[in-house]
């Protein structure tokens, strides 16, 4: 897997003088845990950068089941899609814990992007990389059995937000069976069953609410995948 720093940040990739112009136009806004940043179907008049905290993206089935398909963290940008294509928000965005955002309104975004062509270039790069991530998720969901989908999800999370202990074991904190089920669109019971199967063959360990991956390369090798595909993940360390 290829880890890319600032994968979700077009502002962070701008030249310092252009980045300063953008940030000067942004306004701070606080969100409490679980508070809605925007909802599915709303008109989009703003884009955001995470100053601290996290924001998760999700949608719902007709029966009310939540499907989570993304999360952004400090330094990441989101919400630009509706400002570019003029369509409504394609999903819901909720704060995860106390979250501080910097907000850029549409008219400021349009003025800045007209003045600074590099903004559009960096946005194109960001959206291209997000499309690659989406292709990976679609491929996994289309062809892989649940255990392999879960293994690849754990590997992506391990490379992206996992930490390494003194023995070199990758540690995932804060991911419950319920949250993993939301990411894969399955049941909590299904996640519990597949984690037990992986634990039985020593691919993972579970310890006090943490998931431990002794050898993340071995975890990836054990699961199937598409020929030639190398998933990209955001780097947060």
Q: Could you give the C-alpha distances from 75 to 20, 50, 52, 110, in angstroms and in order?
A: 14, 5, 8, 21
Residue ranges of the domains in the chain?
Answer: 2-139, 145-235
Q: What is the pLDDT of residues 48-99, one digit of tens each?
A: 999 999 999 999 999 999 999 899 999 999 999 999 999 999 999 999 999 9
Q: Are 233 and 70 in contact (CB under 8 A)?
A: no
Q: Quick check: 147 pLDDT over 60?
A: yes
Q: Classify domain 2-139 by CATH architecture.
A: Sandwich (2.60)
**Structural fold of domain 145-235:** Arc Repressor Mutant, subunit A (1.10.10)
pTM: 0.87
State how beta strands 46-60 and 77-78 pair. Answer: antiparallel
């Amino acid at each position: 897997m290829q880890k890319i720093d600032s994968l979700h940040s077009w502002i962070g990739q701008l030249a310092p003088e252009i980045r300063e112009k953008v940030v000067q136009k942004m306004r701070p806004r606080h969100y409490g845990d679980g508070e809605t940043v925007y909802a599915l179907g709303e008109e989009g008049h703003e884009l955001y950068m995470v100053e601290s905290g996290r924001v998760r993206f999700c949608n719902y089935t007709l029966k009310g089941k939540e499907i989570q398909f993304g999360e952004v963290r400090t330094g990441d940008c989101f919400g630009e899609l509706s400002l570019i294509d003029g369509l409504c928000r394609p999903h819901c965005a909720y704060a995860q814990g106390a979250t501080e955002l910097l907000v850029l309104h549409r008219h400021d975004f349009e003025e800045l992007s007209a003045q600074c062509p590099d903004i559009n270039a960096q946005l194109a790069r960001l959206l291209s990389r997000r499309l690659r991530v989406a292709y990976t998720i679609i491929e996994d969901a289309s062809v892989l059995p649940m255990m392999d989908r879960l293994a690849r999800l754990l590997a992506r999370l391990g490379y992206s937000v996992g930490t390494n202990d003194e023995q070199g074991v990758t540690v995932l904190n804060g991911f419950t069976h319920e949250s993993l089920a939301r990411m894969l669109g399955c049941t909590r019971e299904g996640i519990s069953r597949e984690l037990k199967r992986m634990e039985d063959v020593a691919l993972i360990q579970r310890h006090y609410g943490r998931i431990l991956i002794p050898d993340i390369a071995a975890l990836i090798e054990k699961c199937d995948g598409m020929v030639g595909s190398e998933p990209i993940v955001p780097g947060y360390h």
